[in-house]
Amino acid sequence: MAPARAHHLLACLLASALLAAASGLMTDQLEVLFGQTQLLNDSNGDQTIALTLDRVMGSAFKSKTSYLFARIDMDIKLVADDSAGTVTTIYLISEKDWNTHDEIDLEFLGNVTGHPYTLHTNIFANGEGGREVQYRLWFDPTQDFHTYSVIWNPDEILILVDNMPIRQFKNHLDSGVPFPIYQPMRLFGCLWDADDWATEGGRVKTDWSQAPFVAYFRNYTADGCVPSSYAWVCGQGPASSSDWFDRGLDDVKQQQQLREAQDKYMIYNYCNDPKRFPDGYPKECGLQ
């Protein structure tokens, strides 16, 4: 992660720690943190969080629970029209030592009207990141809600869009590749300004005449293992009935979908960037 991006995500975390107690808006599982965040309720009692970004500040929420392995699903409708410079993100992150933190990022990079959104993904383990893979979304994510998911178990991390796998990161600890396996992580959602890098490498800046920018989140579900005094690792406590914990990407259809996503929609893969790694690719690039 570039220093500016690390700074913004860390800022979201710090603001969360400082302002969470002052915010009374929350759903059953998510706690609204700061900014001009709205909690919308429809006639069925279903809730939607609307994160807002203006020139003064962004906004954020976090999950009330931390998990050590989980399946996380969230429906998101992204900032419409000219969203250049904005970043809408959901990410799982550990909350102790930043130098050894774990993190799974889904960052949606805004663009000028009519241009496709970029989904930027990254994975940190034991403080080591730089595992960026990017995709062009094959639909307009501002017209309707789409489901974005993370499956994190001891064997792998899967990122899915509308239940279609687009990225798989396997556990190769036995080969010396760090993998997030020891630290619980909490989900955060944030909408923030990153026009120093987000759109065409920072060439296209945020048009504040379009503000406020708004992104919508709903249907958050988390099926995960909650660390406790008797079981800090899944499998030591009561058995889970969910199949995400001990199943990899073993479905033929899903394997085909993963290959299709990589062939059709992937626009950057750190494992295919010789300029960045002139002395050889990271070890995991030859093991996936």
Kindly name the residue from 31, 95, 107, 284 that is annotated as catalytic: 107
74 close to 90: Cβ distance less than 8 angstroms = yes
Q: Within 10 Å of residue 237's Cβ, how many Cβ atoms?
A: 15
103 is catalytic: yes
Entry field: residues in the chain: 288
Biggest CA pair distance of the chain: 59
In terms of Cα–Cα distance, which of 192, 160, 167 is closest to 262? Answer: 167
Torsion angle of alpha carbons 32, 16, 69, 175, nearest 10°?
150
In terms of Cα–Cα distance, which of 182, 183, 156, 31 is closest to 94? Answer: 183
CA 237, 99, 118, 218 torsion: positive or negative?
Answer: positive
Kindly name the residue from 103, 156, 200, 260 that is annotated as catalytic: 103
CA atoms within 13 A on the CB side of 286: 6
Q: Within 10 Å of residue 140's Cβ, how many Cβ atoms?
A: 13
Distance CA 155, CA 30 (A): 27
84 close to 112: Cβ distance less than 8 angstroms = yes
76 close to 217: Cβ distance less than 8 angstroms = yes
Question: Helix or strand or coil: residue 115?
Answer: coil
Contacts of 239 (CB under 8 A, 6+ apart): none
Enzyme catalytic residues: 103, 107
